[in-house]
Chains A and B, each alone.
Chain A
Amino acid sequence: MAHQSDLIEQDILAYLKSQEEKSLLRFITCGSVDDGKSTLIGRLLWDSKMVFEDQLASLEADSKKVGTQGGAIDYALLLDGLQAEREQGITIDVAYRYFSTDRRKFIVADTPGHEQYTRNMVTGASTAQVAVILVDARKGLLTQTRRHSYLVSLVGIQHIVLAVNKMDLIDFDQQQFEAIRRDYEQFAASLGFGDITAIPLSALGGDNMIEPSANTPWYTGPTLMNYLETVQIEGENREKPFRMPVQWVNRPHLDFRGFCGTIASGVIHPGDELLVASSGRTSRVARIVTMNGDLPEAVAGQSVTLTLEDEIDISRGDMLSIPDTPPIHARHPEAHLVWMHDEPLQPGQIYLVKTASAVTPGRVTTVQYAVDVNTLEQKKTTTLGLNEIGVVRLELDRPISFDPYRLNRHTGSFILIDRFTNATVAAGMIISAAPLEPQNAPLVGFNANSFDVDGEPSRRINLSDASFNGTVSVVDLAGEAGTIGLDVSAGFLDYLGKGNRVLFRLRNVGQLSAVAVMAYEHTLSFEFDRTAEGVSILVFKRDTRFGSRVPDDDGTGI
Chain B
Amino acid sequence: MSLNLTHLQQLEAESINIIREVVAEFGNPVMLYSIGKDSAVMLHLARKAFYPAPPPFPLMHVDTTWKFREMIQFRDRMAAECGLDLIVHVNEEGVRQKISPFTHGSSLYTDIMKTEGLKQALDRYKFDAAFGGARRDEEKSRAKERIFSFRSANHRWDPKLQRPELWNLYNTRIKPGESIRVFPISNWTELDVWQYIHLENIPIVPLYYAAVRPVVERDGMLIMVDDDRMELKPGETVQYKSVRFRTLGCYPLTAAVESTATTLPEIIQEMLLTRTSERQGRMIDHDSAGSMEKKKQEGYF
Contact = CB atoms under 8 A, between A and B. Distances in A.
B13 A262 contact: yes
A52 B277 contact: yes
Given A93-B159, A123-B164, A127-B167, A83 B293 contact: yes
Interface string A245-269: 0011011100010101010000100
Interface string B119-155: 0000000000000000011001111100000000000
A248 B192 CA distance: 27
Nearest to B192: A105
Shortest Cβ-Cβ A-B pairs, 9 listed = A52-B277, A252-B53, A83-B290, A303-B16, A422-B173, A24-B7, A291-B51, A12-B269, A105-B7
Interface of B: 1-2, 4-14, 16-17, 20-21, 23-25, 27, 47-54, 136-137, 140-144, 159-160, 162-169, 171, 173-175, 186-187, 189, 191-192, 195, 198-199, 265-266, 268-269, 272-273, 275-277, 280, 289-290, 293-294
Nearest to B189: A98
B2 A267 contact: yes
A550 B143 contact: no
B171 A247 contact: no
A505 B136 CA distance: 51
A409 B275 contact: no
A290 interface: yes
Interface string A9-35: 100110110011111100000000000
B166 A122 contact: yes
A82 interface: yes
B265 A12 contact: yes
Contact of A340 (B11, B24, B54, B164): B164
Contacts of A80: 140
A250 B169 CA distance: 21
Interface in A86-106: 86, 92-98, 100, 104-105
A144 to B, nearest CB: 20
A354 B13 contact: no
B125 to A, nearest CB: 15
Nearest to B15: A303
Given A262-B13, A422-B175, A104 B7 contact: yes
B20 A248 contact: yes
A84 B159 contact: yes
29 contacts: A2-B272, A2-B273, A16-B198, A20-B195, A23-B5, A24-B6, A81-B143, A82-B159, A82-B290, A82-B293, A83-B289, A95-B143, A120-B164, A122-B164, A126-B166, A234-B5, A248-B24, A297-B2, A301-B5, A301-B9, A301-B13, A302-B13, A303-B49, A354-B171, A355-B169, A410-B167, A415-B166, A417-B171, A427-B164
A119 interface: yes
Contacts of B13: 262, 301-303
Given A8-B272, A12-B269, A123 B52 contact: no
A258 B140 CA distance: 39
A252 B50 CA distance: 9
Interface in A525-555: 549-550, 555
A439 interface: no
B20 A247 contact: yes
Contact of A93 (B23, B162, B169, B173): B162
A400 to B, nearest CB: 13
Contacts of B143: 81, 95-97
Interface string A402-416: 000000011001110
A284 interface: no
A20 B290 contact: no
Contacts of A258: 52
B265 A262 contact: no
A352 interface: yes
A52 B141 contact: no
Given A81-B140, A262-B168, A549-B27, A20 B277 contact: no
Contacts of A256: 52-53
Contacts of A58: 289
Nearest to A317: B24
A555 B164 contact: no
A454 interface: no
A16 B2 contact: no
B137 A16 contact: no
B275 to A, nearest CB: 5
Nearest to B265: A12
Nearest to A555: B25
Contacts of B51: 289-291, 305
A52 B100 CA distance: 31
B15 to A, nearest CB: 8
Given A299-B5, A409-B167, A290 B48 contact: yes
Nearest to B277: A52
A123 B165 contact: yes
Q: Which among B137, B173, B268, B276 has the greatest number of chain A C-beta atoms within 10 A?
A: B173
A98 B199 CA distance: 21
B137 A20 contact: no
A98 B11 CA distance: 13
A8 B4 contact: no
Given A5-B273, A19-B195, A23-B6, A126 B167 contact: yes
B244 to A, nearest CB: 16
B283 to A, nearest CB: 12
Nearest to B128: A549
Contact of A354 (B169, B272, B280): B169
A398 interface: no
A329 to B, nearest CB: 19
B187 A98 contact: yes
A303 B167 contact: no
Nearest to A263: B13
A424 interface: yes
B273 A9 contact: yes
B168 A234 contact: no
A352 B289 CA distance: 40
A215 to B, nearest CB: 29
A235 interface: yes
B2 A299 contact: yes
Contacts of A98: 136-137, 187, 189
Interface in A259-289: 260, 262, 267, 289
Contacts of B266: 12
Contacts of B162: 93
A445 to B, nearest CB: 36
Given A52-B275, A81-B293, A105-B189, 19 more contacts: A12-B266, A22-B8, A23-B5, A23-B6, A53-B275, A58-B289, A82-B141, A83-B290, A107-B187, A235-B1, A247-B24, A260-B49, A291-B51, A303-B14, A303-B16, A415-B169, A424-B164, A424-B166, A549-B27
A475 B13 CA distance: 46
A238 B10 CA distance: 14
Given A20-B6, A24-B11, A417-B173, A55 B163 contact: no
Contacts of A114: none
A55 B49 CA distance: 35
B2 A302 contact: no
A23 B7 contact: yes
A52 B265 CA distance: 20
Contact of A356 (B169, B174, B189): B169
Contacts of A260: 20, 49-50
B158 to A, nearest CB: 11
A308 B24 CA distance: 21
Contact of B164 (A84, A119, A422): A119
A12 B268 CA distance: 8
A303 B17 contact: yes
Contacts of B21: 247
Given A248-B24, A414-B169, A424-B164, A16 B195 contact: yes
B133 to A, nearest CB: 16
